[in-house]
Amino acid sequence: MTTQKDIKIFSANSNKPVAEVIANNLGLPLGKSEVKTFNDGEISTSLFESVRGADCFIVQSTCLPVNNNLMELLILADAMKRASAANITAVMPYFGYARQDRKAKARDPISAKLVADLIATAGISRVLTMDLHAAQIQGFFNIPVDHLQGAPILSNYYKDIIGENSDEYVVVSPDFGSVNRARNFAHRIDCPIAIIDKRRPKAGVSEVMNIIGDVRGKKAIIIDDMIDTAGTLVNAAEAIVKTGGATEVYAGATHAVLSDPAIERLQNSVIKEVLLLDTIPLPEEKKIDKFVVRSVAPLFAEAIERIYSNKPVSTLFL
Protein backbone atom coordinates (compact mmCIF):
# COMPACT_ATOMS: atom_id res chain seq x y z
CA MET A 1 0.00 0.00 0.00
CA THR A 2 1.35 3.46 -0.96
CA THR A 3 0.36 6.69 0.71
CA GLN A 4 1.25 10.27 -0.10
CA LYS A 5 3.93 11.71 2.17
CA ASP A 6 2.97 14.39 4.66
CA ILE A 7 4.28 17.91 4.07
CA LYS A 8 5.44 19.86 7.11
CA ILE A 9 6.68 23.45 7.34
CA PHE A 10 9.05 24.27 10.19
CA SER A 11 10.85 27.43 11.18
CA ALA A 12 13.93 28.21 13.19
CA ASN A 13 14.29 31.69 14.70
CA SER A 14 15.60 33.97 11.94
CA ASN A 15 12.46 34.69 9.92
CA LYS A 16 9.36 33.27 11.59
CA PRO A 17 6.94 35.87 10.13
CA VAL A 18 7.74 34.71 6.58
CA ALA A 19 7.51 31.05 7.66
CA GLU A 20 4.07 31.65 9.16
CA VAL A 21 2.78 33.30 5.98
CA ILE A 22 4.23 30.49 3.84
CA ALA A 23 2.48 27.88 5.98
CA ASN A 24 -0.77 29.88 5.91
CA ASN A 25 -0.63 30.17 2.10
CA LEU A 26 -0.28 26.39 1.92
CA GLY A 27 -3.15 25.86 4.34
CA LEU A 28 -0.86 24.21 6.87
CA PRO A 29 0.00 24.84 10.51
CA LEU A 30 3.60 25.71 11.30
CA GLY A 31 5.41 22.62 12.58
CA LYS A 32 5.72 22.25 16.35
CA SER A 33 9.37 22.70 17.25
CA GLU A 34 11.66 24.73 19.45
CA VAL A 35 15.13 26.10 18.77
CA LYS A 36 16.87 27.60 21.77
CA THR A 37 20.34 28.71 22.81
CA PHE A 38 21.95 27.67 26.08
CA ASN A 39 23.85 30.14 28.28
CA ASP A 40 27.17 29.00 26.81
CA GLY A 41 25.98 29.65 23.24
CA GLU A 42 25.22 26.05 22.25
CA ILE A 43 22.06 25.57 20.19
CA SER A 44 19.48 22.92 20.95
CA THR A 45 16.37 21.87 19.04
CA SER A 46 13.28 19.86 19.92
CA LEU A 47 10.62 18.44 17.60
CA PHE A 48 7.19 18.10 19.20
CA GLU A 49 5.57 16.13 16.41
CA SER A 50 6.47 13.16 14.24
CA VAL A 51 8.26 13.77 10.96
CA ARG A 52 8.70 10.09 10.03
CA GLY A 53 8.32 9.69 6.27
CA ALA A 54 7.39 13.37 5.82
CA ASP A 55 8.64 15.99 3.37
CA CYS A 56 9.98 18.64 5.73
CA PHE A 57 10.72 22.26 4.80
CA ILE A 58 12.79 24.39 7.19
CA VAL A 59 12.41 28.16 6.68
CA GLN A 60 15.58 29.92 7.83
CA SER A 61 17.45 32.93 6.47
CA THR A 62 21.11 32.89 7.45
CA CYS A 63 21.20 36.61 8.22
CA LEU A 64 22.53 38.37 11.32
CA PRO A 65 23.53 36.63 13.57
CA VAL A 66 24.74 34.59 10.61
CA ASN A 67 26.58 31.79 12.40
CA ASN A 68 23.82 31.23 14.97
CA ASN A 69 21.17 31.07 12.28
CA LEU A 70 23.26 28.69 10.19
CA MET A 71 23.78 26.36 13.15
CA GLU A 72 20.06 26.46 13.97
CA LEU A 73 19.33 25.27 10.44
CA LEU A 74 21.94 22.50 10.53
CA ILE A 75 20.95 21.17 13.96
CA LEU A 76 17.22 21.26 13.18
CA ALA A 77 17.91 19.35 9.95
CA ASP A 78 19.99 16.79 11.86
CA ALA A 79 17.12 16.26 14.28
CA MET A 80 14.74 15.62 11.38
CA LYS A 81 17.16 13.24 9.68
CA ARG A 82 17.51 11.20 12.89
CA ALA A 83 13.71 11.21 13.25
CA SER A 84 13.40 9.54 9.80
CA ALA A 85 12.09 12.43 7.70
CA ALA A 86 11.80 11.36 4.06
CA ASN A 87 13.16 14.62 2.61
CA ILE A 88 14.46 17.83 4.16
CA THR A 89 14.46 21.07 2.17
CA ALA A 90 16.23 24.16 3.47
CA VAL A 91 14.12 27.18 2.51
CA MET A 92 16.67 29.98 2.72
CA PRO A 93 15.20 33.28 1.50
CA TYR A 94 18.62 34.81 2.24
CA PHE A 95 21.77 32.68 1.90
CA GLY A 96 24.56 34.04 4.09
CA TYR A 97 28.23 33.70 3.07
CA ALA A 98 27.20 34.08 -0.58
CA ARG A 99 29.70 36.91 -1.06
CA GLN A 100 32.60 34.59 -0.20
CA ASP A 101 32.26 32.65 -3.44
CA ARG A 102 35.87 32.79 -4.74
CA LYS A 103 39.47 33.40 -3.75
CA ALA A 104 39.81 37.16 -4.08
CA LYS A 105 43.44 36.99 -2.95
CA ALA A 106 46.00 34.37 -1.97
CA ARG A 107 45.08 32.04 0.89
CA ASP A 108 41.43 33.13 1.00
CA PRO A 109 38.78 30.54 1.91
CA ILE A 110 35.77 29.87 -0.29
CA SER A 111 33.30 29.96 2.56
CA ALA A 112 30.18 29.63 0.39
CA LYS A 113 31.41 26.21 -0.72
CA LEU A 114 32.08 25.20 2.89
CA VAL A 115 28.54 26.21 3.89
CA ALA A 116 27.14 24.22 0.95
CA ASP A 117 29.02 21.14 2.16
CA LEU A 118 27.79 21.62 5.74
CA ILE A 119 24.18 21.88 4.55
CA ALA A 120 24.41 18.61 2.62
CA THR A 121 26.23 16.86 5.47
CA ALA A 122 23.44 17.82 7.89
CA GLY A 123 21.04 15.70 5.84
CA ILE A 124 19.37 18.42 3.81
CA SER A 125 18.35 17.06 0.41
CA ARG A 126 17.39 20.29 -1.39
CA VAL A 127 17.88 24.04 -1.07
CA LEU A 128 15.30 26.65 -2.04
CA THR A 129 16.70 30.17 -2.02
CA MET A 130 16.42 33.57 -3.70
CA ASP A 131 18.84 35.89 -5.51
CA LEU A 132 22.19 34.41 -4.61
CA HIS A 133 24.88 37.10 -4.76
CA ALA A 134 26.70 34.87 -7.27
CA ALA A 135 24.46 32.50 -9.22
CA GLN A 136 27.30 30.01 -9.71
CA ILE A 137 27.04 29.10 -6.01
CA GLN A 138 24.37 26.64 -7.15
CA GLY A 139 27.27 24.58 -8.51
CA PHE A 140 28.84 24.37 -5.04
CA PHE A 141 26.07 21.97 -4.01
CA ASN A 142 25.79 18.28 -4.80
CA ILE A 143 22.06 18.46 -4.06
CA PRO A 144 19.32 20.24 -6.05
CA VAL A 145 19.14 24.02 -5.66
CA ASP A 146 16.06 25.97 -6.74
CA HIS A 147 17.10 29.60 -7.22
CA LEU A 148 14.12 31.95 -7.17
CA GLN A 149 14.33 35.54 -8.37
CA GLY A 150 13.09 38.64 -6.62
CA ALA A 151 12.67 40.50 -9.93
CA PRO A 152 9.03 39.45 -10.52
CA ILE A 153 7.98 40.85 -7.13
CA LEU A 154 10.02 44.04 -7.50
CA SER A 155 8.90 44.65 -11.08
CA ASN A 156 5.21 44.10 -10.32
CA TYR A 157 5.41 46.88 -7.74
CA TYR A 158 6.96 49.32 -10.23
CA LYS A 159 4.62 48.30 -13.07
CA ASP A 160 1.71 49.66 -11.06
CA ILE A 161 3.55 52.96 -10.50
CA ILE A 162 4.95 53.40 -14.01
CA GLY A 163 1.84 52.39 -15.92
CA GLU A 164 2.20 53.57 -19.52
CA ASN A 165 4.94 56.08 -18.70
CA SER A 166 7.90 53.73 -19.10
CA ASP A 167 9.67 56.27 -21.32
CA GLU A 168 10.10 58.50 -18.24
CA TYR A 169 12.12 55.85 -16.38
CA VAL A 170 15.51 54.18 -16.67
CA VAL A 171 16.80 51.13 -14.78
CA VAL A 172 20.34 51.52 -13.42
CA SER A 173 22.78 48.77 -12.54
CA PRO A 174 25.04 49.95 -9.67
CA ASP A 175 28.01 47.99 -11.09
CA PHE A 176 28.91 45.61 -13.92
CA GLY A 177 28.27 42.58 -11.71
CA SER A 178 24.58 43.44 -11.50
CA VAL A 179 24.02 44.11 -15.21
CA ASN A 180 22.16 40.87 -15.92
CA ARG A 181 19.86 41.44 -12.96
CA ALA A 182 19.15 45.03 -14.06
CA ARG A 183 18.62 43.98 -17.66
CA ASN A 184 16.11 41.32 -16.62
CA PHE A 185 14.29 43.84 -14.45
CA ALA A 186 14.30 46.50 -17.21
CA HIS A 187 12.82 43.98 -19.66
CA ARG A 188 9.97 43.29 -17.25
CA ILE A 189 8.98 46.95 -16.97
CA ASP A 190 9.93 47.85 -20.58
CA CYS A 191 12.53 50.49 -19.70
CA PRO A 192 16.05 51.28 -20.97
CA ILE A 193 19.11 50.45 -18.88
CA ALA A 194 22.15 52.39 -17.69
CA ILE A 195 25.26 51.18 -15.85
CA ILE A 196 27.44 52.73 -13.16
CA ASP A 197 31.14 52.22 -13.83
CA LYS A 198 32.84 52.41 -10.46
CA ARG A 199 36.26 51.79 -8.98
CA ARG A 200 36.60 50.35 -5.48
CA PRO A 201 39.80 51.68 -3.82
CA LYS A 202 39.49 49.22 -0.90
CA ALA A 203 36.98 46.82 0.64
CA GLY A 204 33.78 48.55 1.72
CA VAL A 205 34.56 51.77 -0.14
CA SER A 206 33.24 52.49 -3.63
CA GLU A 207 33.89 55.46 -5.89
CA VAL A 208 31.62 56.19 -8.84
CA MET A 209 33.58 56.96 -11.98
CA ASN A 210 31.20 57.12 -14.93
CA ILE A 211 27.61 56.55 -16.07
CA ILE A 212 27.12 54.44 -19.16
CA GLY A 213 23.75 55.26 -20.70
CA ASP A 214 21.35 58.20 -20.69
CA VAL A 215 19.66 59.12 -17.40
CA ARG A 216 19.22 62.85 -17.98
CA GLY A 217 15.68 64.01 -17.28
CA LYS A 218 14.65 60.49 -16.27
CA LYS A 219 13.41 58.87 -13.10
CA ALA A 220 16.06 56.30 -12.26
CA ILE A 221 15.47 52.96 -10.52
CA ILE A 222 18.64 51.37 -9.13
CA ILE A 223 18.30 47.59 -8.81
CA ASP A 224 20.61 45.33 -6.80
CA ASP A 225 20.47 41.98 -5.00
CA MET A 226 21.20 43.42 -1.56
CA ILE A 227 21.81 46.59 0.41
CA ASP A 228 24.54 46.15 3.02
CA THR A 229 26.18 49.39 4.15
CA ALA A 230 24.45 51.27 1.26
CA GLY A 231 27.70 52.99 0.25
CA THR A 232 27.57 51.79 -3.35
CA LEU A 233 23.86 52.58 -3.65
CA VAL A 234 24.07 56.09 -2.21
CA ASN A 235 27.16 57.01 -4.26
CA ALA A 236 25.43 55.76 -7.40
CA ALA A 237 22.32 57.79 -6.62
CA GLU A 238 24.39 60.95 -6.10
CA ALA A 239 26.15 60.47 -9.42
CA ILE A 240 22.91 59.78 -11.25
CA VAL A 241 21.45 63.08 -10.08
CA LYS A 242 24.49 65.39 -9.97
CA THR A 243 26.44 64.04 -12.95
CA GLY A 244 23.79 62.25 -14.97
CA GLY A 245 20.99 64.76 -14.54
CA ALA A 246 18.24 62.37 -13.42
CA THR A 247 15.21 64.04 -11.86
CA GLU A 248 14.44 61.37 -9.24
CA VAL A 249 16.09 58.22 -7.91
CA TYR A 250 14.41 55.12 -6.52
CA ALA A 251 16.02 51.89 -5.39
CA GLY A 252 14.99 48.25 -5.13
CA ALA A 253 16.77 45.28 -3.60
CA THR A 254 15.91 41.74 -2.56
CA HIS A 255 17.94 41.47 0.64
CA ALA A 256 17.88 44.18 3.34
CA VAL A 257 21.16 43.41 5.10
CA LEU A 258 21.40 47.06 6.23
CA SER A 259 24.60 47.01 8.25
CA ASP A 260 25.71 50.25 9.94
CA PRO A 261 25.69 53.00 8.68
CA ALA A 262 23.15 52.01 5.99
CA ILE A 263 20.06 53.52 7.62
CA GLU A 264 21.68 56.91 8.17
CA ARG A 265 23.09 56.95 4.64
CA LEU A 266 19.75 56.07 3.04
CA GLN A 267 17.84 58.53 5.17
CA ASN A 268 20.17 61.38 4.15
CA SER A 269 20.48 60.35 0.48
CA VAL A 270 18.77 61.69 -2.64
CA ILE A 271 16.89 58.39 -2.97
CA LYS A 272 13.16 59.02 -2.66
CA GLU A 273 12.05 55.45 -1.92
CA VAL A 274 13.66 52.07 -1.27
CA LEU A 275 11.73 48.91 -2.16
CA LEU A 276 12.81 45.85 -0.16
CA LEU A 277 11.72 42.23 0.11
CA ASP A 278 11.36 40.48 3.47
CA THR A 279 13.95 37.75 2.93
CA ILE A 280 15.60 39.32 5.99
CA PRO A 281 13.31 40.62 8.75
CA LEU A 282 13.37 44.39 9.17
CA PRO A 283 13.49 45.32 12.87
CA GLU A 284 11.56 48.33 14.13
CA GLU A 285 14.71 50.35 14.79
CA LYS A 286 15.67 50.09 11.11
CA LYS A 287 12.32 51.10 9.65
CA ILE A 288 12.24 54.53 8.00
CA ASP A 289 9.61 56.29 5.90
CA LYS A 290 11.57 55.67 2.70
CA PHE A 291 11.20 51.89 2.99
CA VAL A 292 8.50 49.89 1.24
CA VAL A 293 8.50 46.14 1.96
CA ARG A 294 6.92 43.38 -0.14
CA SER A 295 6.62 39.75 0.90
CA VAL A 296 8.39 36.80 -0.70
CA ALA A 297 6.17 34.30 1.17
CA PRO A 298 3.60 33.70 -1.63
CA LEU A 299 6.35 32.93 -4.15
CA PHE A 300 8.12 30.56 -1.75
CA ALA A 301 4.82 28.90 -0.89
CA GLU A 302 4.14 28.21 -4.55
CA ALA A 303 7.66 26.84 -5.03
CA ILE A 304 7.25 24.54 -2.03
CA GLU A 305 3.94 23.27 -3.36
CA ARG A 306 5.56 22.53 -6.72
CA ILE A 307 8.52 20.74 -5.14
CA TYR A 308 6.19 18.62 -3.00
CA SER A 309 3.99 17.79 -5.99
CA ASN A 310 6.97 17.07 -8.29
CA LYS A 311 5.97 19.90 -10.61
CA PRO A 312 8.50 22.14 -12.40
CA VAL A 313 9.70 25.17 -10.46
CA SER A 314 11.20 26.82 -13.54
CA THR A 315 7.87 28.41 -14.50
CA LEU A 316 8.23 30.70 -11.48
CA PHE A 317 11.30 32.30 -13.08
CA LEU A 318 9.32 33.72 -16.02
Instruction: Give the residue from 32, 24, 36, 37 showing the smallest Cα distance to 56.
Output: 32
Q: Are 154 and 185 in contact (CB under 8 A)?
A: yes
- Residue 148's DSSP bridge partners are 130
Alpha-carbon distance 255 to 96, whole Å? 11
Question: Packing angle between helix 66-82 and helix 111-121, nearest 10 degrees?
Answer: 20
Q: How far is CA 6 from CA 23, 28, 58, in A?
A: 14, 11, 14
Catalytic residue among 103, 113, 159, 198: 198
Our answer to whether residue 103 is catalytic in this structure is no
Degrees to nearest 5, angle at CA 186 with 91 and 205: 70
Q: Which residues are catalytic?
A: 198
